[in-house]
């Protein structure tokens, strides 16, 4: 069935990375259409895309196993010539965002931030079910966060722990390039990959029984 069609997430070969072994029968690399490949590769020739890809590759290479995520963000911003950095933060991570801003400013960046509750709009005002106010009356406002950072003319926006879905709306409306510093996970200390490492042991409840 189409829903069960195999793809990259079903592969353990990784010949697209190593190029020294056989590709699996379902490999997306071997099934790429030439016009599809040409269309995508052409986009990397665009000035902004080329700059971003080269900078990202250099950051990965130069900091490999040596730099933490915050250091990589700093070096990436420097390589693309970003001067003003926006921080779209969850209010629950304002302390961490203040620390991040302090670090970024020490490296010469201008920093401007917008918190998720900006505007202090009640959830029910936009039609959210009243039961959702049980954990707080004010809605998260990722579109406003994006708008404020757009107005501030930031060069690169950093996401600090926005909720699932709220981050999606922020990325959608951010005019500047955006990258993630912290991914929200209230249960696992903002380390969601821990659930994947333990999905077949301690956190087996994630896998739904047939």
Task: Report pTM.
Answer: 0.93
The pLDDT score that the predictor gives to residue 2 is: 53
**204 phi and psi, to 5 degrees?**
-65, -15
What the block records as the tokens of 28 is 């997306």
Same-domain status, 30 and 130: no
Instruction: Give, in order, the Cα–Cα distances in Å from 94 to each of 8, 41, 87, 91, 210.
Output: 37, 40, 10, 5, 42
The pLDDT score that the predictor gives to residue 180 is: 98
Report d(CA 166, CA 123) in Å as an integer: 13
The pLDDT score that the predictor gives to residue 3 is: 57
Sheet arrangement for strand 156-160: 110-115, 84-89, 156-160, 177-182
Q: Of the candidates 66, 83, 103, which is a domain's last residue?
A: 66
Same-domain status, 24 and 110: no
Structural domain of 51: 18-66
Q: Of the candidates 42, 66, 90, which is a domain's last residue?
A: 66
Q: Residue 96 maps to which CATH number?
A: 3.40.50.1860
Same-domain status, 104 and 48: no
The pLDDT score that the predictor gives to residue 1 is: 42
Same-domain status, 93 and 50: no
Domain count, the chain: 2
Same-domain status, 96 and 127: yes
Same-domain status, 55 and 75: no
**69 phi and psi, to 5 degrees?**
-60, -40
Same-domain status, 165 and 80: yes
The pLDDT tens digits along the chain (210 residues) read: 455 799 999 999 999 999 999 999 999 999 999 999 999 999 999 999 999 999 999 999 999 999 999 999 999 999 999 999 999 999 999 999 999 999 999 999 999 999 999 999 999 999 999 999 999 999 999 999 999 999 999 999 999 999 999 999 999 999 999 999 999 999 999 999 999 999 989 889 999 887
């Amino acid at each position: 069935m189409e829903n069960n069609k195999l793809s990259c997430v079903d592969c353990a070969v990784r010949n697209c990375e190593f190029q020294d072994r056989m590709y699996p029968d379902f490999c997306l690399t071997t099934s790429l259409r030439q016009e599809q490949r040409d269309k995508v590769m052409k986009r990397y020739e665009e000035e902004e895309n080329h700059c971003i890809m080269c900078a990202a590759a250099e950051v990965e290479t130069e900091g490999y196993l040596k730099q933490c995520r915050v250091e990589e963000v700093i070096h990436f911003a420097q390589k693309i010539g970003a001067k003003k950095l926006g921080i779209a933060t969850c209010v629950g991570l304002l302390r961490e965002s203040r620390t991040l801003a302090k670090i970024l400013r020490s490296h010469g960046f201008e920093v401007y931030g917008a918190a998720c509750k900006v505007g202090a709009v009640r959830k029910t005002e936009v039609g959210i079910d009243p039961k959702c106010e049980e954990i707080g009356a004010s809605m998260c406002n990722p579109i406003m966060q994006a708008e404020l950072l757009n107005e501030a003319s930031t060069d690169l926006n950093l996401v600090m722990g926005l909720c699932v879905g709220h981050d999606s709306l922020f990325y959608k409306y951010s005019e500047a390039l955006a990258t993630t510093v912290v991914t929200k996970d209230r249960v696992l200390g903002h380390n969601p990959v821990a659930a994947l490492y333990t999905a077949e042991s301690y956190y087996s409840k994630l896998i739904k029984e047939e």
